[in-house]
């Protein structure tokens, strides 16, 4: 089985190639009113019988072709990794989480080399000797405390992996 990134890349190539053969089209939407717990709600849904291919002024079908590379913020096949990382705001995009994980991973590499995590886990094992069933709940409580006190979410991945060592 190929790597996940190779599968995603092949799907991207296939989808980009299909834009040269499948013309653009659109559906019309309609508002639907319904009752939920006695309250009337409205929702916009697609009308399945309203599909129409997009045409230009001459009446020819329009193809929204995806190029291999695109400049100026355009859509290009090789732009999708970058666009996936930086789309959204500075704080809402994936690049913030990725860089945070890289920094935390590097920091944990340094901390693991010092042996302090191993020493702490060995100390916890010695303290729970005779009641080994408490070891996992104590680690769980420490991770939960870290998440509640200073927002440790993604860092728990490194902690969990280091506790397996």
Average pLDDT over residues 4-8: 87
CA distance 152 to 144: 8
Average pLDDT over residues 139-145: 78
Q: Is 153 helix (H, G, I), strand (E, B) or coil?
A: coil
SS in 3 state form for 34-102? EEECCEEEEEEEECHHHCEECECCCCCECCCCCECCCCCCCCEHHHHHHHHHHCCCCCCCHHHHHHHHH
Phi, psi (degrees; rounded to nearest 5) at 73 = 80, 10
pLDDT at 62: 93
Angle at 85 between CA 82 and CA 88, to 5 degrees: 115
pLDDT at 73: 67
Q: Identify the residue with better confidence: 153 or 41.
A: 41
- Give the residue extent of every domain in the chain: 4-86, 94-164
Residues 6 or more apart whose CB falls under 8 angstroms from that of 21 comprise none
pLDDT per residue as tens digits for the range 24-36: 999 999 999 999 8
Among the ranges given (20-34, 35-49, 73-87), the one the predictor scored with the smallest mean pLDDT: 73-87
CA distance 121 to 127: 10
pTM over 0.75: no
How many other C-beta atoms lie within 10 A of the C-beta of residue 82? 11
Evaluated on CA atoms 102, 105, 109, 111, the torsion sign reads positive
pLDDT value at 90 more than 60: no
pLDDT value at 157 more than 90: no
Phi, psi (degrees; rounded to nearest 5) at 145 = -65, -40
* Chain position carrying tokens 């000797």: 129
């Amino acid at each position: 089985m190929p790597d996940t990134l190779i599968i995603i890349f092949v799907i991207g190539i296939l989808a980009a190639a299909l834009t040269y053969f499948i013309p653009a089209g659109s559906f019309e939407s309609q508002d639907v009113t319904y009752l939920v717990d006695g309250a009337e709600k409205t929702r916009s849904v697609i009308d399945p019988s309203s599909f129409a291919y997009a045409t230009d002024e001459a009446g020819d079908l329009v193809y929204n072709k995806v190029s291999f590379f695109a400049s100026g913020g355009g859509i290009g096949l090789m732009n999708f990794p970058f666009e996936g990382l930086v789309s959204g705001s500075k704080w809402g995009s994936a690049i913030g989480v990725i860089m945070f994980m890289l920094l935390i991973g590097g920091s944990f590499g340094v901390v693991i080399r010092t042996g302090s995590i191993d020493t702490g886990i060995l100390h916890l094992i010695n303290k729970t000797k005779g009641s080994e069933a408490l070891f996992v709940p104590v680690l769980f409580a420490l991770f939960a405390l870290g998440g509640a006190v200073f927002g440790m979410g993604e860092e728990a991945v490194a902690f969990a992996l280091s506790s397996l060592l």
